[in-house]
Amino acid sequence: MKKIWKGLLIFSVAALGAACGGESGDDAGDAGAAEAAEMEAARADAGGDAPGDMAGGVMEADWIAVDHDGGTVTIELIAGETATNSGWNFNGYLGGETTVVVPEGYEITINFRNDDPVNYHSVAVLDTQATWPPMFNEMVPVFDGAITSNAGSANESTPPGGGSEAVTFTASSAGAYALVCVVPAHAMQGMWLDFEVSADGEAGLR
């Protein structure tokens, strides 16, 4: 009797092992594929900020006015310009899919306007991050003044329906940053763009 039970137990364990092994193998395969895709996306993202891409072409954009003689850049930044991502976009872009490039040392003015008919939005220049938290504990912009008022508030930042605010700051240090809406959950949901301060005078959109 004991032997039979032992045999059954061994058989059961083996069968269980085979079943689990087979299933977890599939899971591992799926997870592996998802992970690979994620890593590929991460690599693509990282590639956008890689030094090799710094030499890449910069396009003009009608919402970025560059005055090299005066050392200024004026950016007409519009939240909710399109319905993309429920209006949680800047000039129709989101999720770092475009990079605003300004030269180091220039005085930057962001004329921020919120055309979203429903939600409050904001903008701040922050250090770039791989992922954004739902809430920002500290909202200290990387350059003095590079943040709209009450930026973290969902009902006291720049109001929907055409509310506007201009912020001016000096892009004093070259590097990779981000233009981020810091209203809770907005950045996490894609409301951010890459913002590059170039050491070589490049300006525009990449």
Which residues of the shown chain bind Cu ion in the complex (CB under 5 A)?
A: 121, 181, 183, 186, 191
- Kindly report the number of other CB atoms within 10 A of residue 85's CB atom: 16
CB of 128 to Cu ion, least distance (A): 17
Give CA 135 to chain center in angstroms.
14
Cβ proximity to Cu ion: between 105 and 160 the closer is: 160
Cβ proximity to Cu ion: between 113 and 186 the closer is: 186
154 within 8 A of 142, measured Cβ to Cβ: no
CB of 49 to Cu ion, least distance (A): 23
Cβ proximity to Cu ion: between 174 and 185 the closer is: 185
CB of 106 to Cu ion, least distance (A): 26
CA distance 120 to 75: 19
DSSP 28-71: HHHHHHHHHHHHHHHHHHHHHHSHHHHTS--B--TTEEEETTTT
CA distance 168 to 77: 13
Amino acid code (one letter) for 58 = V
Cα distances (angstroms) measured from residue 172 to each of 71, 103, 161: 12, 9, 33
CB of 174 to Cu ion, least distance (A): 27
CA distance 62 to 47: 26
Cβ proximity to Cu ion: between 90 and 143 the closer is: 90
Cβ proximity to Cu ion: between 113 and 121 the closer is: 121
CB of 135 to Cu ion, least distance (A): 13
CB of 78 to Cu ion, least distance (A): 12
Cβ proximity to Cu ion: between 103 and 190 the closer is: 190
Nearest to Cu ion by Cβ — which residue? 181
